[in-house]
């Protein structure tokens, strides 16, 4: 016979919900999209995509916006 | 990131400030105009920010005090300020205001990162902490999420929305001043379309224009990086930059559909 502590069950459920929200949230989605952009950039434009000068150009573009 | 860090408070509070593009252009035009007349940078920047805050206050009064529709009011400001910019930039359509020290500062790089990028990251970080960890941030999200419930909870909806619209104008003002420093000049088209670039990136990053209380400044920063990265791939491959608009539009559509698949309003 086993006994279940309802407090622990609630805690685990809340923890699982937090992880689910994190993994399905918009910030995660856009993070994955950014990784995809980097992969496409590297495979299509080559190492120049992450060269120092190109990163400076991207940084300057997004800096003020 | 600098404009988005401030404009995000507006979207979170449930109001849209469509005038940020013209506000940035106005800031650049006023700052450049004053600097070209011999004003020191600090004084020109201070007056410029005050001018932007004054126009931001006009937006806020129209929306908060008179209950004007936020999109209509700020769209009116967008058009009106563009006219002011054209007048300020007469007769040649541009103003030169080169300050060597300011130019050097705004074009400083640390490794691959420009000072403006680092400044943007810092502001995004501060905004993220305010939104997620502070009482002010919770109030802003509460007002955007359900203004009636926020009012019943004792939160001043008018004060929060007024402050959000002022912050949005301030962010655009700072952006305009840095724009002048970066280029040493401005023109009558500076900031044109910026509101759509910024809001599209913010929506891709999880903000919503139609319902407040949703979004995170970190998502906005990532959205901007996705848009910039996509445009940059096309630049590096010497593909017409107009394709970037198509891709950004498709990304925005995908973000909206993803939001609906997650449950949209019910999800939040």
Complex-level ipTM beyond the 0.90 threshold: no
pLDDT of residue A5: 60
CB-based burial of residue B95 (10 Å sphere; 0-12 exposed, 13-18 middle, 19+ buried)?
buried
CB-based burial of residue A24 (10 Å sphere; 0-12 exposed, 13-18 middle, 19+ buried)?
middle
**Farthest CA pair distance, chain B:** 56
Question: Among all residues of chain A, which has the CA nearest to that of B2?
Answer: A64
- Using one digit for the tens of pLDDT, what is the confidence trace for B93-129? 999 999 999 999 999 999 899 999 999 999 999 999 9
Query: Quick one: pLDDT band at residue B222, thresholds 50, 70, 90?
Result: very high
- Cβ distance A24 to B229 less than 8 Å, yes or no, reads no
| H or E segment to which residue B49 belongs | helix B41-60
Rg of chain B over all Cα atoms, to the nearest angstrom: 19
pLDDT of residue B266: 43
CA pair distance B265, B252, nearest whole angstrom: 17
Scan residues 171-190 of B and list those with Cβ closer than 8 Å to A: 175, 178-179, 182
Residue with tokens 């995004």: B124
- Using one digit for the tens of pLDDT, what is the confidence trace for B10-52? 999 999 999 999 999 999 999 999 999 999 999 999 999 999 9
pLDDT of residue B258: 73
pLDDT of residue B267: 43
Query: Considering chain B, what percentage of its residues have pLDDT values greater than 70?
Result: 97
- Cβ distance B114 to A25 less than 8 Å, yes or no, reads no
| H or E segment to which residue B203 belongs | helix B194-204
What average pLDDT score do residues B131-158 get?
91
Distances from the Cα of B62 to the Cα of B25, B82, B162, angstroms: 21, 19, 10
Chain A interface disruption, residue of B4, B221, B228, B237, most A CBs within 10 A:
B228
- Using one digit for the tens of pLDDT, what is the confidence trace for B60-98? 999 999 999 999 999 999 999 999 999 999 989 999 999
Taking contacts as CB-CB distances below 8 angstroms, the residues of chain B near A18 are none
Model-level pTM? 0.87
Query: Quick one: pLDDT band at residue B211, thresholds 50, 70, 90?
Result: confident
Q: Kindly tell me if the per-residue pLDDT of B167 is higher than 60.
A: yes
What average pLDDT score do residues B145-166 get?
92
Question: Computed from CA positions of residues A4, A5, A9, A15, in that sequence, does the dihedral angle turn out positive or negative?
Answer: negative
Of B175, B232, B262, the CB nearest to A64: B175
Q: Kindly tell me if the per-residue pLDDT of A4 is higher than 60.
A: no
Whether residue B84 contacts residue A32, with contact meaning beta carbons closer than 8 Å, is answered with no
What average pLDDT is seen over chain B? 90
Whether residue B3 contacts residue B176, with contact meaning beta carbons closer than 8 Å, is answered with no
CA pair distance A37, A16, nearest whole angstrom: 29
Q: Which residues pair with B95 in a beta bridge?
A: B186
CA pair distance B209, B200, nearest whole angstrom: 10
Scan residues 61-120 of B and list those with Cβ closer than 8 Å to A: 109, 111-117, 119-120
Taking contacts as CB-CB distances below 8 angstroms, the residues of chain B near A60 are 114, 116-117, 182
CA pair distance B2, B241, nearest whole angstrom: 23
Taking contacts as CB-CB distances below 8 angstroms, the residues of chain A near B206 are 25-27, 29-30
| H or E segment to which residue B186 belongs | strand B185-187
CA pair distance B109, A49, nearest whole angstrom: 18
A6–chain B nearest CA distance, Å: 26
């Amino acid at each position: 016979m086993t006994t279940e502590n309802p407090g622990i069950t609630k805690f685990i459920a809340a923890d699982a919900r937090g992880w689910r929200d994190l993994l399905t949230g918009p910030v995660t989605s856009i993070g994955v999209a950014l990784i995809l952009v980097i992969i496409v950039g590297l495979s299509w434009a080559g190492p120049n995509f992450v060269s120092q000068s190109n990163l400076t150009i991207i940084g300057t573009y997004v800096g003020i916006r | 990131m600098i404009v988005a860090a401030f404009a995000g408070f507006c979207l979170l509070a449930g109001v849209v400030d469509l005038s940020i593009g013209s506000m940035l252009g106005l800031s650049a035009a006023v700052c450049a105009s004053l600097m070209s007349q011999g004003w020191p940078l600090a004084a020109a920047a201070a007056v410029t920010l005050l001018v932007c805050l004054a126009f931001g206050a006009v937006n806020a009064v129209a929306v908060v005090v008179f209950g004007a529709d936020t999109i209509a009011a700020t769209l009116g400001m967008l058009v009106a300020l563009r006219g002011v910019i054209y007048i300020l930039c007469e007769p040649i359509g541009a103003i030169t205001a080169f300050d060597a020290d300011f130019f050097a500062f705004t074009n400083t790089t640390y490794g691959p990162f420009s000072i403006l990028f680092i400044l943007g990251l810092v502001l995004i970080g501060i905004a993220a902490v305010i939104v997620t960890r502070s009482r002010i941030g919770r109030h802003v999200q509460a007002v955007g999420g359900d203004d009636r419930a926020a009012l019943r909870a004792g939160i001043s909806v008018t004060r929060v929305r007024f402050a959000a619209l002022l912050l949005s104008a301030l962010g655009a003002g700072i952006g305009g001043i840095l724009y002048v420093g970066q280029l040493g000049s401005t023109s009558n088209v500076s900031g044109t379309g910026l509101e759509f670039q910024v809001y599209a990136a913010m929506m891709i990053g999880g903000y919503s224009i139609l319902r407040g209380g949703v979004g995170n400044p970190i998502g906005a920063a990532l959205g901007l990086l996705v848009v910039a990265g996509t445009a940059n791939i096309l630049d590096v491959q010497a593909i017409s930059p107009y394709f970037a608009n198509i891709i950004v539009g498709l990304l925005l559509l995908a973000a909206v559909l993803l939001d609906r698949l997650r449950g949209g309003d019910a999800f939040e």
